[in-house]
Chain A
């Protein structure tokens, strides 16, 4: 999908999310779905498989997200599956999240952690990142066991990497 097309879909989805309310929560859910889609090969293959009828794939989406995500999130993901654009789900969702954050005069801070963070930790982390970058950040936390420990935060072009994985990679390079 072209960048223009992604931007067009992202604009449309962002508008729907904002109109439907609970934009921040929906953005968080879409962000998590996008990260799960990226990291889970089986999910990506299943939702992208054109040989599986679109209705069946939408049912899979509803079974996975139903009850755990709000209706807007389910509908947006189902819409992208139905239109055959689910492969671009991460790019569209990232663009949506950034649009929504910019609408609140914020910058998306994608944080990867080996363990789930508490709300209190997220608040302190958001405050720390805002202080460090000089930007008001919209924190999006992804639980990623591959980082082993610590956190890596990406705010725009800035990357603050404090993960055990990166230390091990540095050590491997030194060895």
Chain B
């Protein structure tokens, strides 16, 4: 109470310097500040220190987490890069396989087409030969029919009485000479 009274009794209008406080104020203020700082150091310091430690730990943990995340990200990136490499190699392999299969299909198709063409040509040649044979047979048959029809007519027309008599004489002579 006395301090307060003392402070209150001071005349604010009387100062020694327009900027610096009075020496007692400095002293009292310094002591008070020291007391406050000491109190703060004594009572709030541990918690502040603990807070700083916790914060440091938290930051360190975050740093570690970030490093871990970075490591994981790098692993993922490596995996992705590896996967991309695998994809590229798989793509290349698939393209090669596709090319190989396409080439095989093409070769097989060519071979099949060539075989089919050869088969068709053989069949066509056989058909042509058969048709030629049939035509020749039909022609021979028609000629034979025409000849068999025409021959008696021609022979009969050419058989004069004299020729018939000659044939009779020839028969008699032939039979008589048989034995």
Contacts and interface: CB of A to CB of B under 8 A. Distances in A.
Interface residues of B, number: 25
A19 interface: no
Interface string A146-175: 001111010000001010100010011001
Interface in B136-179: 143-144, 147-148, 151-152, 155-156, 159, 161, 163-165, 167-176, 178-179
B175 A168 contact: no
Interface residues of A, number: 25
Contact of A151 (B156, B161, B163, B168): B168
A127 B161 CA distance: 24
A149 B176 contact: no
Interface in B31-48: none
A129 B148 contact: no
Contacts, number: 72
A162 B174 contact: yes
Nearest to A117: B168
B172 A148 contact: no
Given A121-B168, A150-B168, A153-B175, 16 more contacts: A114-B164, A115-B164, A128-B175, A128-B178, A131-B179, A132-B175, A132-B179, A134-B179, A148-B155, A149-B163, A149-B167, A151-B172, A162-B175, A168-B152, A172-B148, A175-B143
Interface of B: 143-144, 147-148, 151-152, 155-156, 159, 161, 163-165, 167-176, 178-179
